Amino acid sequence: MSINLYIVRHGETYINKYNRIQGWTNAPLTEKGIQDGQAAGDRLQHVIFDRAYSSDLERAVTTAQMVLEQNNHTDASLLQSLPELREQFFGYFDGISNSIAAQAITKQHGLPTTTTFAQLTRQLGPFEIINAIHEADPTGDAETAAIFWQRLMSGFKQIAAENPENANVLLVSHGRLLSTLGQHFAQLDGDHAEPDNGAVSLWQLTGDHLTLRVFNDLETIW
């Protein structure tokens, strides 16, 4: 059984704007972030969604509500917020400058010095980078790859169980989460796996497997 999963990255937040890591920390959408959500809703307004989901974090819920408000066919009351679909938890590094966090992680693991997560992603695989963040976290609070993946897959299994064959499903979620999906299931390289705020990606969900159809689309009227 396959489901058509339209995954939108939430609109830009102030933490995104300031180039800081954002995991479970909430922050409001910027003016651009509001425009991101409205633009995604405009492009998806003709899709008949059977169900709609978001992470339970504020930025994802707000973006999902904006998308559904513009949809011609889907009642916004269908939205379900699932904690399983949250962004990766960065622990001590949540809210810290991307460059400071990247330097701390590379130093901890003896890697070539880098100041961006894009460069760090080129050096490590999608799960290795999650574990590297956990190992560099002085508090030990950051998620391991195993915990993150188990949580995420339980969310997708719930979506699969709740929807019929060929259902159209909206999901609003997060950048690092979507990057990990792209690298794992579609072998996207780190340079091309980070979606833009408000971008739409189309996946086919079959059980606990995802097949990528379209990634990081900011133009298509669906």
Q: Let me know if residue 126 belongs to a domain.
A: no
**Where in the sequence is the domain holding 189, given as residue range(s)?**
2-92+145-217
What is the pTM (predicted TM-score) of this model? 0.95
Active site residues: 10, 87
Q: Let me know if residue 8 belongs to a domain.
A: yes
Q: Let me know if residue 190 belongs to a domain.
A: yes
Binding residues: 9-16, 59
Place of tokens 């998806």: 44
Q: Let me know if residue 162 belongs to a domain.
A: yes
Q: Let me know if residue 135 belongs to a domain.
A: no
Q: Let me know if residue 80 belongs to a domain.
A: yes
In angstroms, the Cα distances linking 202 to 17, 56, 169 are 25, 21, 10
Q: Let me know if residue 121 belongs to a domain.
A: no
Please give the tally of structural domains in the chain: 1
The pLDDT > 70 percentage for the chain reads 100
Q: Let me know if residue 208 belongs to a domain.
A: yes
* CA dist., res. 77 & res. 68, Å (int): 9
Q: What is the mean pLDDT of residues 197-205?
A: 99
pLDDT of residue 87: 98
Binding residues for substrate: 9-16, 59
Q: What is the pLDDT of residues 94-119, one digit of tens each?
A: 999 999 999 988 888 888 888 777 77
Q: What is the DSSP letter of 110?
A: T
pLDDT of residue 120: 81
Q: What is the pLDDT of residues 31-52, one digit of tens each?
A: 999 999 999 999 999 999 999 9
CATH, residue 168: 3.40.50.1240
